[in-house]
Chain A
Amino acid sequence: MKIPFNFPHNPGFFNSLPLGEVRRGFFLLLFILFSISSFSQKQRFPKPEFATGHVQPSTITPEPRALALEYFDVAVLLVVLSLASWLVLKKRSRQSVLWLSVFTLIYFGFYRNGCICSIGSIQNVALSFASPTYTISLTALLFFILPLGFTLFFGRTFCAGACPLGAIQDVVIIKPISLPKWLNKTLGLIPYIYLALAVLFAATGTDFIICRYDPFVGIFRMDAKFHMVVLGVAFLLMGMFVARPYCRFLCPYGVLLSWMSHFSKWHLTITPSKCIQCKLCTNSCPFDAIDYPTNEKDVIKSGLGPKRFLTYALIIPLWIAVGVFVGERSHTFLSKANPDVFLAELMISNPEIKNDLENIDVQTFLTSGKTLETLVKEAEVIRGKFYIGSMIAGGFLGLVIGMTLLNTVVFRKRQDYEPNKGNCLSCTRCVDYCPVEK
């Protein structure tokens, strides 16, 4: 069907005229519109008046998830955290903790699609402190604070039962192998780097890397980009043998949790009363988080002593200085992750890019009417934030490395087999191995 060209109600409609006149008419129309629109809002095509009394429908806008449901999630988290703490510390039952983590996996994982999560909330908190315009929502703040508060009193029961990322890894542990101590310590530094970068990128308003590279969210959603699915599956396959690799060697929230857990008031104990040194629990922990009793003679033989402690303590400032230096050196590189900085840099280093019609970012910028100077000025402000932030992050990492080294030469007297309060995920596996009755 050819569209009929008669517009009885709209004689000025330019499309019905021959081509030459159409153009003239169009420009005339544009000119009129332009002059009118300066003092009133007039449409290019006037609003129709229907003779048949047709009523215009209204635009359908489905509501987002109800706010009450978001608070319900917080309530669920609170209940799960309390239950997990009670099951770990009082009931001391692996079976119950496992079922609780299955519930968490279903609710926070598959039902809530792994989002909202405490791990990602670090970035919201960081951004709310750094940005004057961003206000954090109360639910995100509660998801950040509640697990930390619980951990400060009960140990990492959040990891045991309330974290969907932990739960999905926990259920695939088949044959965990024990990693050598040096490897555990070295890989254990990665979460600090991840945390420092995540806070840096969030605070500069660049990116939320924790959420973007969450390996399991694609599995929870049953849909993700191919490389993220590969990453998620790879973590689960690895997790069959190296138990909970994400929790131990990547999770940035785990860093904060281990600080809290280190000084927790009540923490899971392997034995309900007194350790009888039966060594039955030694192989029970898939996370290498059980500290063995120390042998004083070995320590003396190894040459660990106050001298080495002093040396390591004295070089901590050196580590910090190195960290600050590395941070200062790398801030230019890191700031390129910011889209504004990247665009400004691209426009300066490659002026010909203006003619590249395929580059949407450049073309949109050119049509936006913003000058290059404004863009460069904005990029410089962001780079300034990166300059400060990278140095702080570098210094923090230097301190962490220094303290980790210092920790290796600290001798702690231990008579029993005990969970390492920082690394223990309170999964209660070891409890089942202890033959001691209450």
Chain B
Amino acid sequence: MENKKTQNRRKFIQNGIRASLLLSLGTISVAALRKVTTDDYVWQIDPFVCTQCGRCATDCVMKPSAVKCVHAFALCGYCDLCGGYLKPDANQRTTAAENQLCPTAAIERRFIEEPYFEYHIKEDLCIGCGKCVKGCTSFGNGSMHLQIIHSICVNCNECSIARVCPSNAIKRVKASEAYLVKGDFSKKPEA
């Protein structure tokens, strides 16, 4: 009889603790649910904040990096002497391979009409070093810029490039608006 009583008491305490644990789990979920989003998050580079430091090429968990150069054609001046395509001092240079800025020759130059050239990024060759972006932003319209390509990105819980980005240009964005591609403006539009 005595034994049964202690058994009951133990059971009562256990039930009580279980109920309070359940309650705290519920509280946590409700508190988190108040600011939950049903959308998912992905990482993306704000091209207007990016300083092209080159860490995207070295610090991504993917090899080569999930960061690639993308080209906002609407912004491009279609220059012959492209600051993103050729090394500095472009007018002294030929289009020979040693004069190309891209270390992996990932930029393809296509003649459109006099004097316009269109530049295409070969995604499978691009390593996201941002050298062309730096060239294009310093000498041109800034139509080339870095973006995280989501067919490659594995969407780490914390992006390893975002952690080392010196300008904090990498942010979580909603998966439904996963890219921050530049439009036909070179400065960030005033929101």
Binding site for B on A (CB under 8 A): 1-10, 15-16, 37, 41, 43-48, 50-52, 54, 56-65, 67, 70, 113, 115-116, 120, 123-125, 128-129, 134-139, 141, 145, 148-149, 152, 207-208, 211-212, 221, 223-224, 259-260, 263-265, 339, 360-361, 363-365, 367-368
Contact = CB atoms under 8 A, between A and B. Distances in A.
Contact of A152 (B22, B51, B147, B181): B22
Given A37-B187, A44-B186, A3 B18 contact: no
A67 B114 contact: no
Contacts of B187: 37, 41
Interface in B15-37: 17-18, 21-22, 25, 28-29, 31-33, 35-37
Contacts of A129: 31-32
Contacts of B32: 125, 128-129, 136, 141
Contacts of B154: 113, 115, 221
Contact of A47 (B39, B74, B114): B74
A139 B101 CA distance: 43
A193 B75 CA distance: 52
Contacts of B151: 62-64
Given A3-B94, A63-B150, A339-B163, A211 B156 contact: yes
B40 A263 contact: no
B39 A137 contact: yes
A63 B148 CA distance: 11
7 interchain residue pairs of minimum CB distance? A45-B77, A364-B166, A62-B151, A64-B150, A208-B158, A56-B73, A263-B18
A129 B153 CA distance: 27
A56 B181 CA distance: 15
Nearest to A67: B40
Could you say which interface size class chain B belongs to?
35 or more
B180 to A, nearest CB: 10
B158 A2 contact: no
Contacts of B36: 128, 135-138, 141
A322 B114 CA distance: 77
A259 B21 contact: yes
A61 B179 contact: yes
A223 B166 contact: no
B157 A45 contact: no
Q: Which DSSP category, helix, strand, loop or mixed, fits chain A's interface?
A: loop
Contacts of A67: 39-40, 175-176
A369 B38 CA distance: 37
A16 B51 CA distance: 29
A1 B95 contact: yes
13 contacts: A3-B80, A3-B90, A3-B91, A44-B140, A54-B113, A61-B70, A62-B151, A64-B153, A134-B172, A141-B29, A141-B33, A207-B158, A221-B61
B72 A54 contact: no
Interface string B160-180: 100110110000100110110
B115 A212 contact: no
A368 B167 contact: yes
Contacts of B147: 61
A6 B77 CA distance: 16
B55 A360 contact: yes
B12 interface: no
A148 B70 CA distance: 43
A360 B140 contact: no
B53 A364 contact: yes
B77 A115 contact: no
A265 B76 CA distance: 65
Contacts of A60: 70
B61 A223 contact: yes
B61 A224 contact: yes
Contact of B157 (A46, A208, A265, A360): A208
Contacts of A7: 80, 115
Contacts of A70: 40
A74 B150 CA distance: 21
A359 to B, nearest CB: 9
Nearest to A58: B73
B48 interface: no
B186 A136 contact: no
A263 B25 contact: no
A184 B75 CA distance: 63
A126 to B, nearest CB: 10
Contact of A223 (B21, B63, B94, B115): B63
A43 B158 CA distance: 36
A357 B166 CA distance: 14
Given A48-B77, A58-B73, A361-B166, A2 B94 contact: yes
Contact of B74 (A45, A56, A124, A260): A56
A59 B94 contact: no
A360 to B, nearest CB: 5
Contacts of A207: 158, 163
A70 B41 CA distance: 11
A225 B71 CA distance: 30
A3 B95 contact: yes
A290 B78 CA distance: 73
Contact of B186 (A6, A9, A41, A224): A41
A136 B37 contact: yes
Given A43-B75, A136-B36, A221-B61, 19 more contacts: A3-B95, A6-B115, A41-B185, A45-B79, A60-B70, A61-B181, A63-B178, A64-B155, A65-B150, A67-B175, A129-B31, A134-B172, A135-B35, A137-B38, A137-B41, A138-B38, A139-B40, A141-B32, A264-B18
